Amino acid sequence: MLYHPTSVSRLVATGAAVAIAAGLSFAPAATAAAPSATTGPVTSVGPTTATVSGTVNPNGTATTWIVEFGTSTSYGSKTASANAGSGTTTTPISANLTGLKPGTSYHYRVVATNSAGTARGADGLLTTSAAPQATTGGASAVTTSSATLNGAVNPSGRATTWFFEYGTSTSYGSKTAAKEAGSGTSTVSVSAPVTALSPGRVYHFRLVASSDAGTGRGLDQTLSTTAAPAVVTRGAASVRDTTATLTATVNPNGQTTTAVFEYGVTTGYGTKTAVKNIGSGRTGSTVSIPVGGLAAGTTYHFRIVASNATGTSAGTDQSFSTTGPPGVRTGSVANTTQVGTTLTGSVDSRGHSTSWFFEYGLKTSYGSHTPTRSQSATAGARSISEAIAGLSAGLTYHYRLVARNGAGTSFGADAVFTTTGPAVTVAASTTTVASRVPVTLSGKVSNGQPNESVTVYAQQFGLGSFAVVNTVLTAVGGTWSLIVRPTIGTTYKAVWNGSTTSTVSVAVRPAVSIRRLTRLRIATHVAAQRSFAGRTVQLQRLLPDGRWRTIARVGLNGSSSAIFHPKLRRGRWTLRVAMSVNQAGAGYLAGFSRAISVRKR
């Protein structure tokens, strides 16, 4: 059936009239209601996120909801808007909160809104997961090179690892292996051994614990590894003829420590002081112990020796000298010339005013000395020097240092030096002569004195040693001379006062004679230290250009003589006889006669 809008109107009106006539009434149309919102519990929480719950009833009207959250009831942050529908029943909701800070308390609530109004749930409170808590404890089982580090970790409900950082400063630099601390919410004790530490060092350490909520670091703590005492031998104080006070520095390195001084005239020591208690501190303290019964003017060695439970340490050797006669040391020489030098040494006054001088001379009886000088009573060796002059060249002198004070006289060791330049010289008037031709040897002694004995030695060619030729006396000014007649190559030297000259050599030629006989015959004879029988000589003619030409050769007879029968053309000729160096033999130069002039008619 089709309904016309007018018929419907009439029907509605009629119906209404009937209803009124029958005593019935009609309610007005229903109005929209605001939603209801309930804030629920936290269903999960992490260091930076959380999930919260709640309920929303749209009360029949299309409704949206959000969760407001923040660190106060002012909130300040909210989740994205979500649709709750338009039903009339309570619907559970859940929201994820992000961007939170670890270990922080947050307020939150559910807020639902529709066209009829806004409903806000009660304020809720949650706390995000915190970084683990690390507490650095003390160190135990400390030795010279190891220790056990202790502490406590609270994981704060998150899976946590921990380790110790350690080193010789608060920069640490080393760490133990990481270990698991679990994920509980209560404190657990932890410990880790460390090794390869250096003895007697202070180490810093701290506990570090990490989880996804962050890292917790304990406070810095320190430990000191055990060590034998650290010792330094210092000097000796209040030194007298027979007493002194020995000093040192000792660091017990945290353990009960005792110390003694060892002392004696050598580094073997042999004597020690009574034991002294040093304590158990960790800083160096001065130790001084007096000793007596020492010998005057004596050098003593000493050292500190300290012991604790870890070990024993000995200081380096030191020395001191008791007062007494001076300590002297003859030193070296400097700037030595032909006539002078500078003598050096050292003098230790050993607590008394002291005077000193050098003795010197050609023998250990000395005979000369330098001026006397003064030195204060202050103990300790001081370097001294004195220049001397008026010496002779090339001579060896003895010298020593002498010092005196009220306790006695001390002598340094004998030492020697040699002035520069030759003590005696030698020279030859010529270095090449014919056999048995005189040669004058001459020279001078460095002291310039007359009547000094000079011995001349010669070494002939082929002989292995020098032999005395003669001994001569010097003249005024220290000069000397001697005539020698060498017959073969000879080397000479002179000796005076233990000093020897350099050598001088004289080369020798065979002595070759030439003589004209009748009928233009030329006679020759060769003389030297040995016979030249059988050797060949040459007759030579002088050419206009100055060269010599051999015109005849002949062998020498048993008397080392020969006669030439030259064939010459008419005229005047200059002739000589020659013996070559090969024919002259070892020890000789080539020999030549004088030149003669002959005329053939």
pLDDT at residue 537, as a whole number: 97
pLDDT at residue 30, as a whole number: 58
> Do 294 and 264 touch, CB atoms closer than 8 A?
no
pLDDT at residue 2, as a whole number: 33
pLDDT at residue 7, as a whole number: 31
For 582, other C-beta atoms within 10 Å of its C-beta total: 9
pLDDT under 70: residue ranges of the chain: 1-30
pLDDT at residue 491, as a whole number: 97
pLDDT at residue 350, as a whole number: 85
Per CATH, the number for 133-224 is 2.60.40.10
- The alpha carbon of residue 506 and the mean position of all alpha carbons in its chain are separated, in whole angstroms, by 60
pLDDT at residue 19, as a whole number: 34
pLDDT at residue 87, as a whole number: 94
Q: Among positive and negative, which fits the CA dihedral 35, 39, 45, 50?
A: positive
Domain boundaries, the chain: 36-127, 133-224, 230-321, 327-418, 427-508, 510-600
Architecture of domain 427-508: Sandwich (2.60)
Q: Mean of the per-residue pLDDT values for the chain?
A: 92
Q: Among 427, 492, 444, 452, which Cα is nearest to 362's?
A: 452
**Fold match between domain 36-127 and domain 133-224:** yes
Secondary structure (DSSP) of 65-82? EEEEEESSTT--EEPPPE
> Do 444 and 480 touch, CB atoms closer than 8 A?
yes
The alpha carbons of the chain give a radius of gyration, in whole angstroms, of: 62
> Do 179 and 161 touch, CB atoms closer than 8 A?
yes
- 484 - beta bridge partners? 439
Against a cut of 0.85, is the pTM above it? no
230-321 is a CATH 3.40.50.261 domain: no
Per CATH, the number for 327-418 is 2.60.40.10
Superfamily (CATH H level) for 510-600: SOR catalytic domain (2.60.40.730)
pLDDT at residue 467, as a whole number: 96
- Say whether 515 sits in a helix, a strand or coil: strand
Q: Which CATH number fits domain 36-127: 3.60.150.10, 3.90.1010.10, 2.60.40.10, 2.30.30.40?
A: 2.60.40.10
Q: Among 432, 565, 561, which Cα is nearest to 504's?
A: 432
- pLDDT tens digit sequence for 324-374: 899 999 999 999 998 999 999 999 998 899 999 999 999 999 999 999 999
> Do 442 and 458 touch, CB atoms closer than 8 A?
no
Q: Among positive and negative, which fits the CA dihedral 513, 516, 522, 523?
A: negative
Secondary structure of 173-225 in the HEC alphabet? CEECCCEEEECCCCCEEEEEEECCCCCCCEEEEEEEEEECCEEEECCCEEEEC
Alpha helices per DSSP H over 291-418? none
